[in-house]
Amino acid sequence: MEFYLNAVLQGLCLSAMAFGIFISMKIFNIPDISTDGTYTLGGVISGFFISQSYNGFAIVGLVMVGGALAGAATGFIHTKLKVNALLAGILVMTALYSINLSILGQSNLPLLNYPTLFTVLNVFQNPTQNTLFIVASIVLILLIIVSYVLKSDFGLAMRATGNSQTMVRAMGVNTDTMKIIGLAIANALTALSGYLMTQLQGFADINMGIGIVIVGLGSVIMGETLINFFAITSVVKMLLTVVLGAVVFQLVLAFALSLGINPNLLKLITAAFVLLIVGLPRFLFKKAE
Amino acid sequence: MIDLQNLHKTYNAGQANKVNAIQNVSLSIKQNDFVVIVGANGSGKSTLLNLISGNVLPSSGKIFIDDKDVSRQPEYKRSPAIARVFQNPFSGTAADLSILDNFRLAALRTQNKTLKIGVNQNFKNKISQQIAQLGMGLEDKLSQPIGSLSGGQRQALTLLMAVMDDLKILLLDEPTAALDPKAANVVMQLAQQLTQQYQLCTILITHNLKDAFTYGNRIIQMAEGKISKDLDATAKTKLTQNEIFNWFS
């Protein structure tokens, strides 16, 4: 039970990143690979400052600014220098590897003896319940903020940018700026996931972000299946399905591990699972078309 | 309202596939004018419209809108004065957004898009009334994604969206090319009605010579990047549909 509860916690921690992927992938149609780097960036910034005995709450702003800058860099390279979005993401991800390593100073930094977000604040006696409460609250706050932004006039312009650039330009919106801001927001959220995960696991690792974009993508695609199935148009409900997708994803991985699968194969299973949820609907609905 | 002076546009300059899309075009269009532009494919009609909207910048020459030099301004800076309706009904609207959200964006065409929630009950009622005028029954479907509507419905809504915010110039780039005759009629009549109601300066590009004959108070024919015929209101009323047909033979 504890095992699956931990998977739920991880899923909730990754929800922030899934919101980010929802913005970059679903709204802007940009596959943002820099996610792998910004997730780790969030992790190493938290790791560094927590190991310097900074308060877990105090550094949240720093983490998000770091992620936002990286995202803005991807957006700038893509829109202003006209580099293919995939390549722009790979460039930023590669550059971030060195930056992350410089910040962390070593490839793995254990934080078990330092106070974290989950030990500073004690609402419940039971540490797991306490962690669940804090993570769930953070996800709820993010859900409210992100859905507010997406429903605002600015958010409408952002959502329309991914839909029809011709239309949005004619509405007086600078689509380049919109994409840069959008990717900055997306990566700020991704860095936040790295921040949460580092404190949940009690260590920061230079390789923690490898393949994380696939996890986010898988969560969003699972959410999207629900969105299409129930014809959901409300932004809040869309984001809820994304959270659900992130949690279910981790539960599936936990289930695979509980079957006794070699943990070294976890990334292979992740990739296969995402391929399955991407490919299966096409395969199933092929006959109907 | 619109003043074009010695406008040139060359694509792929200095290369073997160089195209002189617009050659030395000077044109002045007044407020309340409904100008129809006809011409064969590749005659420069669409380039001319793109130059006015700012989608394409001129190789040389000047563009004035309301006596202001906008020659080097990008599209999003000119859009406060200009609205466009495209040939493809999908271009003018954001498919995944609801009708209401699309209209909200249109209502903010000349303003900043802030972090305010603008879609409230008040706004909804206002849009509902506007859309009811179309008589398409769409006023009850405001929260439906606009992508679920037919091409004709989307094109009519795009036109209505154009006048949601302060507008001077309406550019129609073959707006009915993808529509069935009935829907095309509705859209064209709406365009004419809005031009009069809001005293717009409207430019219509069309291959439909019947529309070219029926609508507008000035007709221009373009050929090889130049204006080859330019008839004012009096001359246009004397024109017969057959004569326009003969322009193309």
Q: Which of B76, B90, B98, B127 to mutate to test the interface with A (most CBs of A within 10 A)?
A: B76
**Is the Cβ of B165 closer than 8 Å to some Cβ of chain A?**
no
**Is the Cβ of A169 closer than 8 Å to some Cβ of chain B?**
yes
Locate the DSSP E strands across B90-237: 169-173, 201-205, 218-223, 226-231
The model's confidence at residue B127, banded by pLDDT at 50, 70 and 90, is very high
The answer to whether A159 contacts B110, with C-beta atoms less than 8 Å apart, is no
pLDDT of residue A235: 92
**Single-letter code of the amino acid located at B128:** S
The model's confidence at residue B34, banded by pLDDT at 50, 70 and 90, is very high
| φ and ψ of B221, to 5 deg | -110, 135
- A20 and A143 Cβ atoms separated by less than 8 Å: no
Chain A residues inside the 8 Å CB shell of B123 = none
Q: Which of B100, B105, B117 to mutate to test the interface with A (most CBs of A within 10 A)?
A: B105
> Of all helices (H) and strands (E), which one includes residue B84?
strand B82-85
The answer to whether B117 contacts A148, with C-beta atoms less than 8 Å apart, is yes
Q: Which of A23, A151, A167 to mutate to test the interface with B (most CBs of B within 10 A)?
A: A167
**Number of neighbours of residue A120 by Cβ within 10 angstroms:** 12
pLDDT at position B160 over 60: yes
DSSP-based helix, strand, coil % in chain B, nearest 5: 35, 25, 40
The model's confidence at residue B26, banded by pLDDT at 50, 70 and 90, is very high
pLDDT of residue A287: 54
- pLDDT lower than 50: segments of chain A: 289
The model's confidence at residue B62, banded by pLDDT at 50, 70 and 90, is very high
Q: How far apart are CA B236 and CA B194, in angstroms?
A: 21
Please name the residue of chain B whose CA is at the shortest distance from the CA of residue A161.
B94
The answer to whether A153 contacts B83, with C-beta atoms less than 8 Å apart, is no
Chain A residues inside the 8 Å CB shell of B70 = none
- The Cα of A196 is separated from the nearest Cα of chain B by a number of Å equal to 27
Strand A108-110 to strand B19-29: parallel, antiparallel, or no bridges (unpaired)?
A: unpaired
pLDDT of residue A286: 62
pLDDT at position B5 over 50: yes
Q: How far apart are CA A188 and CA A41, in angstroms?
A: 10
CB-closest option in B76, B91, B116 to A152: B116
- What is the rounded average pLDDT of the residues B161-185? 89
pLDDT of residue B87: 85
**Single-letter code of the amino acid located at A23:** I
The model's confidence at residue B235, banded by pLDDT at 50, 70 and 90, is confident
- B232 and B49 Cβ atoms separated by less than 8 Å: no
Q: How far apart are CA A90 and CA B214, in angstroms?
A: 56
Strand B169-173 to strand B201-205: parallel, antiparallel, or no bridges (unpaired)?
A: parallel
pLDDT of residue A289: 47
The answer to whether B145 contacts A233, with C-beta atoms less than 8 Å apart, is yes
Most distant CA pair in chain A, distance = 59
Please name the residue of chain A whose CA is at the shortest distance from the CA of residue B110.
A172
Q: Which residues on neighbouring strands pair with residue A204, listed in sequence order?
A: A109
pLDDT of residue A120: 83
Q: How far apart are CA B222 and CA B231, in angstroms?
A: 12
**Is the Cβ of B143 closer than 8 Å to some Cβ of chain A?**
yes
Tokens of B237: 């009323």
Q: How far apart are CA B2 and CA A88, in angstroms?
A: 40
- What is the rounded average pLDDT of the residues B194-219? 91
Range B40-43, long-range pairs (CB < 8 A, 24+ positions)? B40/B223, B40/B248, B43/B222, B43/B223, B43/B224, B43/B225
Q: How far apart are CA B164 and CA A221, in angstroms?
A: 36
Query: Hey, which of A35-49, B64-78, B118-132 has the most confident mean pLDDT?
Result: A35-49
Look at phi and psi of residue A53 and say left if phi exceeds 0, alpha if psi is from -120 to 50, else beta.
left
The model's confidence at residue B97, banded by pLDDT at 50, 70 and 90, is very high
Please report the ipTM that was assigned to this predicted complex: 0.86
